[in-house]
């Protein structure tokens, strides 16, 4: 019978034989198949934009570009010329500084496609800051443009149709601060001390949440069928807001302008606006206009002045040098207005006007000046106090 030690020896040898191929078989070639592949991104992958590091610079291919430092212009040239669509130019918060004899800071020529220019400072370029008048669909954001146009009459910013201008500040231009073509949207911008208009826009433009002050001509001018909303325009050399024809102004303030606070021709809509201390009328409109819930006070002519076929409802006019409301021609509806402390409360100088539900008091010459062919509800004198016994829904009150 084998000894236990012999059995253990044979068992150990058998186990070693079984495990031998696993532990000692070959592991493959040690020579690498080729050089190691790149493990890091290229500079182009990290920053795909193209740098702009000197002036003049021409962009002739689509893409994204960025300014790397403050740059100074060169006499006889534009700063940056953009000749391609689908371009984005980031000024990076840097300054494009003009010099005597230079042209415009940025020019976009004959481009019909998206161009975006943003985030920088443009100063003292003799022929304007941004000139994109021949380009459509340009977007400008967060630009500060000042002191441009010393070589003549040049706008601080000039763009073509379908432009979008956001959060730009323009001052000291020899022409308009901002001049935009048709269908522009101008929002959150400030324009001051420009020699012409602060903001000028052509047909069907929208100007919103902007301020304009101390400009030589109108603060905000929209040529035709435009909208001005939530804007403030004050101390300008002519009108605060000029809507021309078929324009609208909503929730705006026009204060202490040398002309009218708000001026329009035919078909204007003015709602919820304030026009105070202007040198002529607070609000002046012409035919077929609609004015509601406005406040006009301490203007040097009338609070509201209109020609014919308009509706004036729910307005407050007080402290104006002439009339609170002056209807110069006929066919107007004057209803539910408050007029006090003017020379005349409501003056219907024209013919065939209708007047209902107004309240006029403490006017210097008279509360109501009416023509023989005007139609109006009864005028009830409530100056003595006491119960109002006239129950006509068309009654006008005098005190």
Measure the N-to-C terminal CA separation of the chain; round to a whole number of Å: 140
Predicted local distance difference test score (pLDDT) of residue 22:
45
Q: Which two tokens stand for residue 394?
A: 């068309």
CATH H-level superfamily of 260-399: Single-stranded right-handed beta-helix, Pectin lyase-like (2.160.20.10)
Buried b (16+ CB within 10 A) or exposed e, 287-314: bbbbbbebbbbbbebbbbbbbbbbbbbe
Phi first, then psi: give them for residue 115, nearest 5 degrees. -135, 130
Task: Label residue 44 by pLDDT band (50, 70, 90).
Answer: low
Long-range contacts: 291-295, Cβ < 8 Å, 24+? Answer: 291/315, 294/270
Q: What is the spatial distance between Cα 165 and Cα 159, in angstroms, rounded to a whole number?
A: 9
Residue 186: name the closest of 160, 216, 165 by CA: 165
Residue 346: name the closest of 133, 276, 86, 338 by CA: 338
Q: What is the spatial distance between Cα 251 and Cα 241, in angstroms, rounded to a whole number?
A: 12
- Is the pLDDT at 146 greater than 50? The verdict is yes
Q: What single-letter DSSP state applies at residue 36? A: P
Percentage of the chain lying above the pLDDT 70 cut: 88
Q: Please count the other Cβ atoms lying within 10 Å of the Cβ belonging to residue 266.
A: 17
Peptide bond into 56 cis (omega under 30): yes
Supply the mean pLDDT for the chain: 92
Task: Label residue 391 by pLDDT band (50, 70, 90).
Answer: confident
Task: Label residue 208 by pLDDT band (50, 70, 90).
Answer: very high
| 76 or 349, greater pLDDT | 76
Q: What is the spatial distance between Cα 201 and Cα 236, in angstroms, rounded to a whole number?
A: 17
> What's the average model confidence in pLDDT over 258-263?
98
- Is the pLDDT at 2 greater than 70? The verdict is no
Q: Which part of the chain has CATH 2.160.20.10?
A: 260-399
Q: Please count the other Cβ atoms lying within 10 Å of the Cβ belonging to residue 27.
A: 5
Residue 181: name the closest of 199, 197, 163 by CA: 163
User: Per residue in 288-329, pLDDT tens?
Assistant: 999 999 999 999 999 999 999 999 999 999 999 999 999 999
Q: Are 255 and 275 in contact (CB under 8 A)?
A: yes
Predicted local distance difference test score (pLDDT) of residue 77:
98
Predicted local distance difference test score (pLDDT) of residue 9:
47
Rounded (10°) CA dihedral 321, 324, 329, 332: 170
Residue 58: name the closest of 72, 79, 87, 37 by CA: 79
- For 39-43, 44-48, 241-245, which range has the lowest pLDDT when averaged over its residues? 39-43
Residue 158: name the closest of 188, 99, 125 by CA: 125
Q: Which two tokens stand for residue 253?
A: 């303030």
Q: What is the spatial distance between Cα 73 and Cα 171, in angstroms, rounded to a whole number?
A: 20
DSSP for 140-166, written as a single string: EEEEEEES--TTSS--SEEE-TT-EEE
Q: What is the spatial distance between Cα 242 and Cα 217, in angstroms, rounded to a whole number?
A: 10
User: Per residue in 264-294, pLDDT tens?
Assistant: 999 999 999 999 999 999 999 999 999 999 9
> What's the average model confidence in pLDDT over 185-199?
98
> What's the average model confidence in pLDDT over 342-370?
96
Phi first, then psi: give them for residue 10, nearest 5 degrees. -60, -40
User: Per residue in 95-143, pLDDT tens?
Assistant: 999 999 999 999 999 999 899 999 999 999 999 999 999 999 999 999 9
Q: Please count the other Cβ atoms lying within 10 Å of the Cβ belonging to residue 381.
A: 11
Q: How far is CA 236 from the centre of its chain?
A: 17
Predicted local distance difference test score (pLDDT) of residue 384:
87
């Amino acid at each position: 019978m084998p000894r236990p030690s012999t059995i253990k020896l044979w068992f150990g040898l058998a186990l070693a034989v079984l495990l031998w191929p696993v532990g000692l078989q070959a592991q493959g070639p040690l020579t690498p198949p080729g050089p190691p592949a790149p493990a890091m991104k290229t500079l182009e992958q990290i920053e795909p934009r193209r740098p702009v590091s000197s002036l003049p610079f021409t962009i002739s291919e689509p893409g994204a570009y960025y300014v790397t430092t403050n740059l100074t212009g060169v006499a006889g040239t534009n700063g940056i010329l953009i000749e391609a669509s689908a371009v984005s130019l980031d000024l990076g918060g840097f300054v494009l500084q003009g010099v005597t004899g230079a042209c415009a800071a940025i020019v976009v020529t004959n481009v019909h496609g998206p161009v975006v220019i943003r985030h920088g400072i443009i100063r003292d370029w003799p022929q304007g800051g941004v000139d994109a008048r021949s380009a459509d669909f340009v977007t400008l954001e967060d630009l500060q443009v000042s002191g441009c146009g010393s070589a003549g009459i040049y706008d601080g910013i000039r763009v073509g149709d379908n432009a979008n201008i956001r959060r730009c500040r323009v001052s000291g231009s020899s022409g308009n601060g901002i001049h935009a073509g048709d269908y522009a949207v101008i929002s959150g911008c400030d324009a001051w001390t420009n020699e012409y208009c602060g903001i000028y826009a052509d047909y069907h433009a929208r100007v919103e949440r902007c301020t304009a002050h101390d400009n030589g001509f109108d603060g905000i001018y929209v040529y035709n069928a435009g909208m001005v909303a939530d804007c403030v325009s004050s101390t300008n050399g002519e009108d605060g807001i000029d809507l021309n024809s078929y324009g609208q102004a909503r929730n705006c303030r026009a204060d202490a302008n040398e002309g009218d606070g708000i001026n329009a021709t035919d078909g204007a809509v003015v709602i919820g606006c304030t026009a105070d201390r202007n040198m002529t009328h607070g609000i002046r409109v012409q035919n077929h206009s609609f004015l509601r819930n406005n406040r006009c006070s301490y203007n040097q002519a009338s609070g509201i002045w209109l020609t014919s076929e308009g509706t004036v409802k729910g307005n407050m006019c007080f402290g104006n040098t002439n009339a609170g409301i002056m209807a110069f021609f006929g066919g107007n509806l004057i209803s539910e207005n408050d007029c006090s402390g003017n020379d005349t409360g409501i003056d219907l100088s024209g013919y065939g006007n209708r007047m209902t539900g107004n309240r006029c008091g403490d006017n210097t010459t008279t509360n109501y000046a009416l023509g023989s062919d005007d139609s109006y509800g009864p005028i009830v004198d409530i100056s003595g106090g006491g119960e109002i016994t006239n129950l006509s829904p068309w009654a006008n009150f005098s005190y």
